[in-house]
């Protein structure tokens, strides 16, 4: 029935539930599990989970497990057995690296290796897509459908969800309007919204670039601290303004402003990474300690917006070869890489050097 949520809409509900501290139920038809995010789990709910039949495990990514010297037997994740007196504080200490240097010994951590881990993997993907710490408490359920109905919890078809989470949610244009800008009075802002009601993305069009020629373009991921506050820890603000200025000078261009804060981990996790950098870790090491990859962004979004706007080729303003590769892979021809080397300060020099050495940026 069309009034019922489809799988993408159900996953949006599940993300919201995890962010609020509610559990969600995953089922593949034969196996089921209750999943709760460690970051938002209350001591009362933890007590209720521990009182249920069975023994929950803590699922963390392999990146976080490696930091903690735990065995990621499942390849990309580790399932950690809870100690007999597990508390919400213990779970948080394993999930959040904030106090790793102060209290490095979390264990001994015993990794579970028996049985399938696909529901745990799906739970971690959901947590990542909800922009919270990728650490989830997972309890096997003999009757997932009945348990979800009895407790009014969101029930997710795990097989369908695994496929959808690997896909880019379709985008649709919402509205566009003329916005005179300091770099060009001929500015226009286009708003695109994903089908699942997630965060919108924007295209700032300068002038009237022809659709049958390569357009000067930039994929710019949102950076609250750099773009709005003028942070000196990154080069995002200067890159944003530099790209718009170059488009204004040429009289045409498209800047795609993608809501993928902190390389796709969200502002809260970016601030966690900043705190870890203050402890001496570089930007990549900080992401790994949090349980994330170097870069969690999805540049397919940019390619889709360009195609929706009628562009097939670009002159890409970037220092990041990964953006070029992703554009080409998703049907956008990159005829030229246009360097954008601006914004280096004494505060971000090490950060930029790390991006060049570990992430391949051409600086």
> Which active-site residues does the annotation give?
295, 297
**At 5, phi and psi to the nearest 5?**
-65, 140
How far apart are alpha carbons 199 and 211 in whole angstroms? 27
Cα gap 321→325, rounded to integer Å: 6
Q: Cβ contacts of residue 88 below 8 Å, gap of 6+?
A: 41, 42, 43, 46
Cis previous bond, 108, omega within 30? yes
Q: What is the rounded distance in angstroms from the CA atom of residue 24 to the CA atom of residue 329?
A: 34
Q: Which residues are within 8 A (CB) of 14 and not within 5 positions of it... i.e. 6 or more apart?
A: 24, 126, 154, 156
Q: Kindly give the pairing relationship between strand 154-157 and strand 24-27.
A: parallel
Strands in 201-206's sheet, in edge-to-edge order, are: 171-178, 187-194, 201-206, 253-258, 215-221, 313-317, 333-338
CB 301 within 8 A of CB 287: no
Half-sphere exposure of 47 (CA within 13 A, CB side): 3
Task: Please enumerate in sequence order all residues whose Cβ is within 8 A of that of 360, keeping only pairs 6 or more positions apart, or say none.
Answer: 320, 321, 322
Smallest CA-to-CA distance from 258 within 209, 214, 318 is with: 318
Give rounded-to-5 percent helix, strand, coil for the chain. Answer: 40, 20, 40
Return the H-helix or E-strand segment holding 165. helix 158-165
For residue 20, CA distances in Å to 15, 41, 101, 209, 222 come to: 9, 8, 29, 44, 24
* Angle, CA 220 vertex, CA 174 and CA 7 arms, to 5°: 50
Whether the CB-CB separation of 200 and 174 falls below 8 Å is answered with yes
């Amino acid at each position: 029935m069309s009034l019922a949520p489809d799988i993408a809409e159900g996953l949006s509900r599940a993300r919201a539930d995890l962010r609020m501290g509610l559990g969600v139920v995953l089922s593949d038809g034969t196996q089921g599990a209750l999943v709760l995010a460690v970051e938002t789990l209350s001591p009362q709910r933890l007590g209720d989970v521990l009182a249920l039949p069975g023994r929950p495990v803590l699922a963390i990514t392999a990146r976080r497990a490696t930091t903690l010297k735990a065995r990621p037997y499942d390849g990309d994740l580790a399932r950690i057995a809870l100690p007999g007196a597990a508390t919400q504080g213990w779970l948080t200490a394993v999930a959040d690296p904030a106090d790793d240097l102060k209290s490095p010994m979390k264990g001994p951590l015993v990794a579970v290796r028996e049985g399938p881990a696909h529901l745990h993997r799906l739970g971690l993907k959901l947590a990542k897509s909800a922009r919270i710490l990728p650490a989830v408490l997972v309890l096997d359920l003999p009757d997932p459908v009945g348990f979800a109905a009895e407790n009014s919890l969101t029930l997710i078809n795990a097989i369908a969800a695994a496929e959808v989470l690997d896909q880019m949610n379709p985008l649709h244009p919402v509205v566009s309007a003329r916005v005179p800008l300091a770099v060009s009075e001929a500015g226009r802002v286009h708003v695109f919204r994903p089908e699942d009601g997630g965060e919108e993305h924007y295209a700032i069009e300068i002038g009237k670039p022809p659709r049958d020629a390569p357009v000067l373009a930039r994929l710019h991921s949102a950076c609250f601290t750099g773009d709005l506050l003028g942070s000196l820890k990154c080069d995002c603000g200067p890159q944003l303004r530099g790209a718009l200025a170059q488009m204004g000078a040429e009289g045409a261009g498209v800047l795609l402003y993608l809501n993928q804060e902190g390389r796709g981990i969200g502002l809260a996790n970016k601030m966690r990474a900043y705190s870890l950098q203050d402890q001496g870790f570089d930007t990549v090491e900080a992401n790994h300690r949090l349980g994330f990859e170097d870069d969690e962004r999805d540049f397919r979004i940019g390619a889709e917006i360009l195609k929706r706007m009628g562009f097939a080729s670009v002159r890409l303003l970037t220092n990041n070869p990964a953006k070029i590769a992703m554009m080409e892979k998703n049907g956008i021809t990159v005829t030229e890489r246009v360097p954008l080397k601006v914004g280096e300060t004494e505060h971000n020099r090490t950060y930029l050097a790390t991006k060049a050495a570990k992430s391949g940026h051409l600086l």
